[in-house]
């Protein structure tokens, strides 16, 4: 039987009861207890979820988080999570209630929670639940910030950690309540993006050939030429948003083609006189990746942005929030 969860308002007042399934499907605001765990060396415990998790499978997370179910408090839920996921015992309600850092109201199109964040210093043994957790690590702040740049993290966990770094102490003896509308936050790491050798080493030979050497991948033998899923396409190197599936069409050329860019400011057009012809090259602004070319023979008098799949990364609609592009959900409404 599905567990019962309390639906609440932003003041943390009870509204009604709902099942976990209803909470997920209808994105109802509900309570979650989250514990940020550090050891004496001030290193943060992080874990990678197993791929059979129902929420954010395969993603890294910081500390632990548990949904508050009917009859439980934030504190008892936190203790349950510590015990069940990490076999940490002996933590009391009083100890946790004294360690509250802040409350976070996390609002998005498909995931709304009121999260109470606790802080725990722990140096004892940890035996993690292998059905739920694939791996755990302790990292200092600098190491964790670097890992966040290269690995996929739970959006809520990442938001809580970033808020924690900005606000770690109670204000006038009270913990603050912070509201974050996640879909108002566009993924903006690319705005401060700086290309370096380490990033380029991660590219496949074809990705490097296309983006750095102005190459062209084989027609009809590339990843996205026939992709019909809803989502957006971002630069393979920087992550800057480039195109939407709503503007994609079958050009018959064997390469992914679009009538217009999703974000025109992320596109640069350059004259290309190679191969004894005059063409217009398309490059990404921040990463300066060669993407392809644009032609004036698109459908109904539009343009045809003929792109290389190797220069792009596709983010499905269902993963937009997880990948921090939640603002683009509006592209697919109605």
Q: Is the pLDDT of residue 300 over 70?
A: yes
pLDDT band at 57 (very low <50, low <70, confident <90, very high): confident
- What's the total number of domains in the chain? 2
Same domain as 153, residue 122: yes
- The rounded distance, in Å, linking the Cα atoms of 136 and 125 is 12
User: 9 and 146: one domain?
Assistant: yes
Q: Domain range holding 281?
A: 190-332
* Overall residue count recorded for the chain in this entry: 334
Q: Is the pLDDT of residue 173 over 80?
A: no
Residue 54 tokens read as 């129902």
Q: With 90 as the cut, is the pLDDT of residue 111 above it? A: no
CATH of the domain at 69: 3.90.79.10
Q: Report DSSP state, residue 260.
A: S
Quick one: how many helices (H) and strands (E) in the chain? 7, 19
Cβ pair 267, 282 in contact under 8 A: yes
Question: Last residue of some domain: 185, 217, 246?
Answer: 185
Crossing angle of helices 155-166 and 141-150, rounded to 10°:
150
| The dihedral formed by the CA atoms of 153, 237, 248 and 223, expressed in degrees to the nearest 10 | -90
| Residue of 210, 242, 267, 306 marked active site | 306
Domain final residue, candidates 185, 211, 246: 185
21: enclosing H helix or E strand? helix 20-26
Contacts of 301 (CB under 8 A, 6+ apart): none
The confidence score (pLDDT) of residue 187 equals: 56
Angle at 257 between CA 225 and CA 216, to 5 degrees: 70
Closest to 120 in 3D by CA, of 62, 185, 48: 62
Q: Cβ-count burial of 27 within 10 angstroms (0-12 exposed, 13-18 middle, 19+ buried)?
A: middle
Q: What is the pLDDT of residue 70?
A: 94
- 281: CATH: 2.170.150.20
pTM for the structure as a whole? 0.65
Mean pLDDT in residue range 98-102: 87
User: 130 and 198 share a domain?
Assistant: no
3-state helix, strand, coil in the chain (%, to 5): 30, 30, 40
Q: What is the pLDDT of residue 155?
A: 84
> Does residue 207 share a domain with residue 140?
no
Mean pLDDT computed over every residue of the chain: 89
pLDDT digits over 225-260, tens only?
999 999 999 999 999 999 999 999 999 999 999 999
In the listed set 156, 185, 214, which residue is the last one of a domain according to the structure?
Answer: 185
Tell me the mean pLDDT in the region 308-329. Answer: 87
Strands, E assignment, the chain: 4-8, 14-19, 30-38, 44-49, 60-62, 64-67, 100-107, 113-121, 133-139, 177-181, 231-235, 241-244, 248-249, 257-258, 267-272, 279-284, 290-295, 304-307, 312-316
Q: Indicate the pLDDT class of residue 192, thresholds 50, 70 and 90.
A: low
Q: Is-catalytic flag, 306?
A: yes
Look at residue 4 and tell me whether its pLDDT is greater than 90.
yes
The reply to whether 208 and 131 lie within a common domain is no
Examine the domain organization and report whether 31 and 176 are in the same domain.
yes
- Min mean pLDDT across 54-63, 85-94, 160-169, 204-213 is at 160-169
Percent of the chain with pLDDT over 90: 63
Residues whose CB falls within 8 Å of the CB of residue 68, separated by 6 or more in sequence, listed in order: 5, 6, 30, 31, 32, 33, 74, 77
Residues 198 and 91 in one domain: no
DSSP string of 261-305, one letter each residue: -SSGGGEEEEEE-GGGS-EEEEEETTT--EEEEEES--GGG--EE
Torsion of CA 212, 216, 221, 224, to 10 degrees: 60
Are 160 and 228 found together in one domain? no
- Same domain membership, residue 224 and residue 144: no
């Amino acid at each position: 039987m599905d567990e019962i969860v309390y639906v609440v308002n932003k003041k943390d007042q009870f509204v009604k009861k709902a099942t976990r399934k209803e909470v997920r499907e209808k994105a109802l605001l509900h309570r979650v207890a989250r514990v940020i765990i550090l050891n004496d060396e001030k290193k943060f415990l992080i874990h990678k979820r197993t791929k059979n998790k129902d929420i954010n499978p395969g993603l890294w997370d910081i500390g632990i988080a548990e949904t508050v179910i009917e009859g439980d408090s934030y504190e008892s839920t936190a203790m349950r999570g510590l015990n069940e996921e990490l076999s940490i015992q002996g933590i009391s309600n009083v100890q946790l209630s004294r360690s509250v850092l802040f409350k976070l109201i996390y609002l998005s199109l498909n995931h709304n929670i009121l999260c109470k964040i606790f802080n725990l210093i722990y140096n004892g043994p940890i035996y993690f639940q292998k059905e739920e957790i694939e791996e755990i690590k302790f990292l200092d702040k600098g190491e964790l910030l670097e890992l966040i740049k290269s690995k996929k993290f739970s959006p809520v966990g990442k938001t809580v950690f970033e808020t924690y770094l900005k606000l770690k102490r109670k204000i006038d003896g009270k913990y603050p309540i912070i509201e974050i509308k996640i879909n108002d936050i566009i993924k903006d790491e690319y705005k401060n993006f700086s290309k370096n050798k380490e990033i380029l080493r991660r590219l496949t030979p074809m990705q490097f050939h296309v983006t750095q050497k102005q190459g062209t991948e084989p027609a009809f033998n590339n990843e996205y030429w026939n992709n019909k899923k809803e989502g957006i396409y971002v630069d393979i190197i920087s992550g800057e948003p480039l195109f939407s599936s709503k503007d994609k069409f079958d050009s018959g050329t064997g390469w992914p083609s679009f009538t217009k860019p999703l974000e025109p400011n992320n596109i640069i057009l350059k004259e290309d006189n190679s191969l004894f012809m005059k063409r217009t090259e398309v490059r990404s602004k921040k990463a300066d990746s060669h993407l392809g070319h644009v032609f004036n023979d698109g459908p109904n008098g539009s343009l045809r942005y003929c792109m290389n799949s190797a220069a792009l990364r596709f983010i499905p609609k269902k993963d937009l929030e997880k990948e921090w592009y939640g603002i683009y959900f509006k592209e697919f409404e109605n």
